[in-house]
Homo-oligomer: A and B are copies of this chain.
Amino acid sequence: MWKPDRRSSTPIYLQIADRLQHLIAEGEYSPGSPLPSERKLAELFDVNRSTIVQAYTELRAHGLIESRPGSKTRVSLHQGRDQGALPPEWHRYAENGVFLPNVPFLRHIREALAQNPSIIDFASGKLSLNLSPVQEINEIMRNCVYQPEPENDSLLGFPPLRRALAAFLQKYRGINVSPDSILITSGSQQALYLITQCLLSPGDAVAVEAPSYTLSLSMFQSAGLRMYRLPVDEYGVRPEGLRTLQKKYRIRMLFVNPNFQNPTGTLLHEERKKLLLETAGKLRLPIVEDDQFSLTAYGLDSPPPLKAETDAVSTLYIGSFSKIAASGLRIGWIVAPASVIRRLSDARRQMDLGFSVIPQQIAAKFMASQYFDPHMDRLRRELILKRDTTAEALRKHLGDLVEFTVPQGGLHLWCRILPEVSDSRLLDEALRQRVAFVPGSVYGSGPGYMRLTYARPNAEDIEPGISRLAAAVRTAVRAAAE
């Protein structure tokens, strides 16, 4: 028997409306036939009657059902027509297209977090609210003047932002490019999407880090790409296998996140960077370098990007503001040769026609403002504190059961559980204890790994959070041993 899912973020009444629509579309209730009474349905689905009233209102708004005063609610007849008409089979349509649904684990965590604010969140891969420069952004916004045109009318993005970015990349990342080699995107997610959609074709083979960033994995699958994995260890991705992979599967592109990788937090070793560039150069293989986290480096200097190497001709470079300032601005960028920029910007136009000017104005100003350096300093200090608190709490509460390398930058800590556990069992147990993490298998690793985004919870919640997590781990380990 179908029941509404109380842990879903979709309101119950909509789940019910959806279910009824499905039954109507399937012919379970035919045009003109009466529907069960509100009371009956409320019983059936184990909800309040008011929820059924809401669901019926929704269906009525969509013209699926009709009620007349004093008579039962019925499936619409579409009066005045010779034959009964039915709505399109929406749920069938929703199964079309090339997009695969996102990872169920992530949906589950997301829904749990939406449902229960007391869950301590080590799962969402982003900064806690108080690490975002909210006041600074508000200060800048107050002084922003919305000027729709003509400067913003470029297919590549708001020209002042691209100029500010060229200066930024030069100053902070040692990358030397003209503003016309930069395309603005809705976060680096869109940059990745554009690359897979415009520079590759379904069936193409790509090499990815194992483990690596989930949403790129689902996106690659949706794009019909064949993925081959290069293992990541504590010095980052291992480049030795690249040549063999390439020869064997005709790899057409390599995706890496070299500095403080998501999810492992590792920094790609200098020697490996050299070898990677060298191999890619010889194979004429494009490297997509996803450089999200470098500026968070806890040491003195940010590690250089591959793109900054003097001969980094193989690199498409992408970055964004999301992990160092405000993901709500949705400002990302891609640095690429002119032919690639042209192609991507042309396609981008078909997808969403253009850019929202205001976030671009704000980003340009923030980047060049006196706020930027102090913000980054504060961010680094807070991240170090959070990392230390997390590592300490892990040692204290779980020292005998886990293994991890202390990250030197980024937002994430990658933690291996030594005894055997079931990922889904552990996640369920953790959510029951009101703490969230992401199981490593989501990123393509074997079982028994957790990604802990220590940047996300508030500092004072970290120790209690890890303590809850420890309880969950112990329960799951015990269960696995039984």
Contact = CB atoms under 8 A, between A and B. Distances in A.
Given A329-B358, A358-B362, A313 B63 contact: yes
User: How many monomers of this chain does the complex have?
Assistant: 2
Most B CB within 10 A of own CB, among A15, A177, A198, A202: A198
A187 B62 contact: no
A99 B346 contact: yes
A78 B132 contact: no
A87 B129 contact: no
A354 B338 contact: no
Nearest to A221: B350
Interface in A332-359: 336-340, 342-343, 346-347, 349-359
A337 to B, nearest CB: 5
Interface string A167-195: 00000000011101100011101100100
A98 to B, nearest CB: 7
A88 interface: yes
A218 interface: yes
B10 A96 contact: no
A2 interface: no
Contacts of A76: 311, 313
Most B CB within 10 A of own CB, among A58, A146, A150: A146
Contacts of A215: 349-350, 353
Given A96-B200, A146-B134, A197-B99, A356 B359 contact: yes
B354 A286 contact: no
Interface of A: 9-11, 14-15, 17-18, 21-22, 57-58, 60-64, 76, 78, 81, 83, 85-91, 93-94, 96-99, 101-102, 114, 117, 129, 132, 134, 137-138, 141-142, 144-150, 152-155, 176-178, 180-181, 185-187, 189-190, 193, 197-202, 204, 215, 218-219, 222, 252, 278, 281-282, 284-286, 309-314, 322, 326-330, 336-340, 342-343, 346-347, 349-359, 362
Contacts of A96: 198-201, 204
Contact of A354 (B21, B64, B187): B187
24 contacts: A10-B342, A18-B338, A87-B281, A87-B314, A88-B286, A88-B314, A90-B337, A94-B339, A97-B198, A97-B201, A99-B343, A102-B346, A114-B153, A117-B150, A129-B149, A141-B141, A146-B328, A148-B328, A186-B352, A187-B353, A215-B350, A222-B347, A328-B356, A356-B358
A46 B205 CA distance: 42
B284 A87 contact: yes
A181 B314 contact: no
